[in-house]
Structure 1
């Protein structure tokens, strides 16, 4: 009985406390808001905001003469100040990012995520890192000691001090940073060290490919600086878009090594020689051009083919593919960015029909004898395509070339146009087999199906305007020929009756037999109506 009585008393006591607390809250709501809450430049605090804030504030003991509860307002004001400062900082950063002079120097891009979904392994280095994007990655650190060996070898060979290279890179640090999409989290000293280390390593590889690594002082069985199997992996990494150094950095480092100025263009030619095994053609660098490079390194006069203001090694390689003769045929609309520029329609990505369909329409294929793999022609029903060599590095090479053309506004889309054209031609392994039979495609992959799958996946998620292609005019001519029914009928007749010598003999015998039969019928009818007198 006593327990029940105390329980009721406790309940009444708690209820009284609740009522008192509620009355105090109601009293606070009726109080006028302090004038210092709504400061200039801050959002106005509404009644609901006050209710929420007042509930969380500490309550101070009431003064005898006031009879009101004083509420502390400093914490919400500080929160509002931090929020406004954060917004201001974001706007200032946006203004800095919107500086068009920064975008004008950008040339080494991060591969967009929509392209990485296709095959990210082809875009990221597996053996060596160059530049800031993959600097310090755990799987690539093992190559750093070989980079330091390259720097040490250069300093011994030239009797120079490392400070010369550091000072030179510090002078062009700001210009080099502007070439990359930032931020990438490297301090000034770290960035300069990276330029010296990676740049010297690249130049040693370039020079070793021309002069010979043993001539530069490396052992014949060196694990890196020798023409071994790992060199192919290094070459493939060095051609990736995210794994580039600005060409002016390499030019400056080579000038310091050779002790002479005005060597512009020499690094570009060294790069072409080094990346020659990745070329998708079977035309290697000529002995004449190789001799020019060797003589230039012997400090004789060097006359580069042309100085086109290349940006980095990937750009050098791309230009060399398109520079082996006059540029590709003019497009229907040559300028990429004009007032009439429009967004490419993903529903219209087809330039031409596949090989099987074109053959059924009477179009014939044959190999065009030229080292310009992109130089395709169509004459008198013959589609002439130069030979294309495909190896295990071709996929990564083409993907990075496409990514560069997709990202760099001042680049043409000639490589992308060619790859999409070939993708349209190849739908199945039968198409690859026939092109291989014609001598157009040569590959060292497992099967023709792998080649077909390679081309069918290269241009996934690629934005491409079919009217902005150097092959647009050729495609129109091929499609016009394809749509003529007589060509299809003639092709079907030839395929059915003239596909082998025995079929031709049978057809000729059938024609002779038909002529004789008609002749016999004619003379029999003629003798019936006009008998001899």
Structure 2
């Protein structure tokens, strides 16, 4: 009867809505839990200025760029790498189906958690089958590439053109190009890797070591004592950020309180001796300073929150030196120098800075690390503070010349045009670091910024300049 048909439809619709609302509620609850490390799109205003720095050029990892037609060659590469990864532990193709079934079951069991890592609008249109297949393919591709790099296995498909390996190193650390780290852990835990049978590492530890070796070479792999818990890692970009900030803190350990007083007294004595030598000159010209018009005084060049440029600081008796470390990193981490983010104002005149290597990967590296900080922590972090300081130091080609001579900046090209390009680079990344300005005093560079500001406003230094 018609009435019975209506009852059946009502029942079916009610059950479907009940299931949908339960699924959405559970996913949203997971979203709240993982909110700190969610993979989200870069805001439009930032993307308008640096869109290419956030967009993959070879492979899409995760859902945000999966539909990009430019990356189809990367999708073919993923299929080939899935085959080679499985073949490591299962040479007979007859066993491959069972391995893939295991991968699918593992990812399907955590589909809801994985979806929660992304904004609803980025994954709601993906059905379960497509979403799970994407994570399996992307995760196995990453693991196979990491293993190839660690074992020195050639990758002729990847090296078909010279730019592809370096482009891949960029694609794997983009803020919009991440998958949950727990997916990688689950996949490597279900994969036979005979090359690592005798290492004794658990799958999560092995995965982190492979990632760190890829990002930072032997220096990255040597971080065995400081590895975070795999459950606390959101994705590969998060692990890179942890690696970079940890390297900075280990380079300059906190001074013990009981030792600080004698050290400071010795530094103060050396500083005063240096001042006595300079005082002869300063006393001759200091009386002239009050007679200068306000617009000609040194401090008038800068706003309240700004810093002098590198060339101006040199006139204020500040020298620049490269921070050194016993073992420099390799891989993409090498762009940040032997001691990433290192900045130390030596008592007196020396400013030690990490060497920043400028190439086509440098801007994406810095911009995506800053994007992660400002989305995960809801504030400017160490990378944002470092970029802000460097952008203030480099205002012109003259500043570039000074920092290149001090080996603080390294560029692959030379000449006046190259120096102008480096200055433009710092303006580009500096614009994205402005969020750090308001919170700089809370960062590890707060005291350094304040000391440099005081020097730029001190009459004795001003008259000398």
Q: TM-score, normalised by structure 1?
A: 0.62
Q: Hey, what does 2:228 align to over in structure 1?
A: 307
Shift of 1:158: 2.3
1: CA distance, partners of 2:397 / 2:245: 28
Shift of 1:182: 2.0
The question of whether the paired residues in 1 share the 8 Å contact of 2:88 and 2:192 is answered with no
The question of whether the paired residues in 1 share the 8 Å contact of 2:370 and 2:380 is answered with no
Matched, 1:463 2:438: no
- Choose from 237, 240, 245 the match for 2:171: 237
Shift of 1:269: 2.1
- Choose from 340, 344, 357 the match for 1:377: 344
Q: Hey, what does 2:244 align to over in structure 1?
A: 321
SS of 2:191's equivalent in the other structure is helix
Q: After TM superposition, list the pairs within 5 Å mapping 1:424-463 onto structure 2.
A: 424-445=392-413, 447-460=418-431, 462-463=434-435
Going from structure 1 to structure 2, the CA distance change for 1:456 and 1:412 (only over 3 Å counts) comes to closer
2: CA distance, partners of 1:227 / 1:249: 30
Q: Hey, what does 1:285 align to over in structure 2?
A: 218
| Structure of larger gyration radius | 1
2: CA distance, partners of 1:252 / 1:99: 23
Shift of 1:234: 1.2
Matched, 1:362 2:295: no
Going from structure 1 to structure 2, the CA distance change for 1:481 and 1:355 (only over 3 Å counts) comes to same
Matched, 1:109 2:40: yes
1: CA distance, partners of 2:459 / 2:253: 30
2: CA distance, partners of 1:318 / 1:404: 8
2: CA distance, partners of 1:433 / 1:329: 27
Q: Hey, what does 1:144 align to over in structure 2?
A: 75
Q: TM-score, normalised by structure 2?
A: 0.70
Matched, 1:421 2:392: no
The question of whether the paired residues in 2 share the 8 Å contact of 1:134 and 1:243 is answered with yes
SS of 1:119's equivalent in the other structure is helix
Shift of 1:264: 2.0
Shift of 1:153: 1.9
- Choose from 107, 111, 118 the match for 1:180: 118
Q: Hey, what does 1:353 align to over in structure 2?
A: 308
SS of 1:193's equivalent in the other structure is helix
> CA offsets per residue over residues 18-52 of structure 1, 9 Å max, x none?
xxxxxxxxxxxxxxxxxxxxxxxxxxxxxxxxxxx
The question of whether the paired residues in 1 share the 8 Å contact of 2:146 and 2:211 is answered with yes
Going from structure 1 to structure 2, the CA distance change for 1:376 and 1:202 (only over 3 Å counts) comes to same
Larger RCO: Structure 1 or Structure 2 (Cα < 8 Å, ≥ 6 residues apart)? Answer: 2
Q: Hey, what does 2:204 align to over in structure 1?
A: 264
1: CA distance, partners of 2:25 / 2:42: 23
The question of whether the paired residues in 2 share the 8 Å contact of 1:213 and 1:226 is answered with no
The question of whether the paired residues in 2 share the 8 Å contact of 1:199 and 1:249 is answered with yes
SS of 2:357's equivalent in the other structure is strand
Going from structure 1 to structure 2, the CA distance change for 1:254 and 1:351 (only over 3 Å counts) comes to farther
The question of whether the paired residues in 2 share the 8 Å contact of 1:362 and 1:487 is answered with yes
Shift of 1:208: 0.5
Find runs of 4+ consecutive structure 1 residues off by over 3 angstroms.
Answer: 95-101, 225-229, 258-262, 327-331, 347-351
- Choose from 160, 171, 184 the match for 1:250: 184
1: CA distance, partners of 2:25 / 2:431: 34
The question of whether the paired residues in 2 share the 8 Å contact of 1:269 and 1:304 is answered with no
Shift of 1:192: 0.5
Q: How many residues align?
A: 359
Q: Tell me the C-alpha RMSD between the 2 structures.
A: 3.0
Shift of 1:101: 4.9
Q: Hey, what does 1:526 align to over in structure 2?
A: none
SS of 1:109's equivalent in the other structure is coil
Q: Structure 1: any 5+ residue segments left out of the alignment?
A: 1-91, 277-283, 294-302, 332-346, 493-533
The question of whether the paired residues in 2 share the 8 Å contact of 1:322 and 1:372 is answered with no
More helix by share: 2
1: CA distance, partners of 2:48 / 2:70: 21
Matched, 1:153 2:125: no
Matched, 1:395 2:367: no
Matched, 1:485 2:414: no
Q: After TM superposition, list the pairs within 5 Å mapping 1:82-231 onto structure 2.
A: 101-106=30-35, 107-159=38-90, 160=96, 161=98, 162-183=100-121, 184=123, 185-214=125-154, 222-224=156-158, 228-231=162-165
Q: Hey, what does 2:262 align to over in structure 1?
A: none
> CA offsets per residue over residues 301-335 of structure 1, 9 Å max, x none?
xx66422422111111111112225368899xxxx
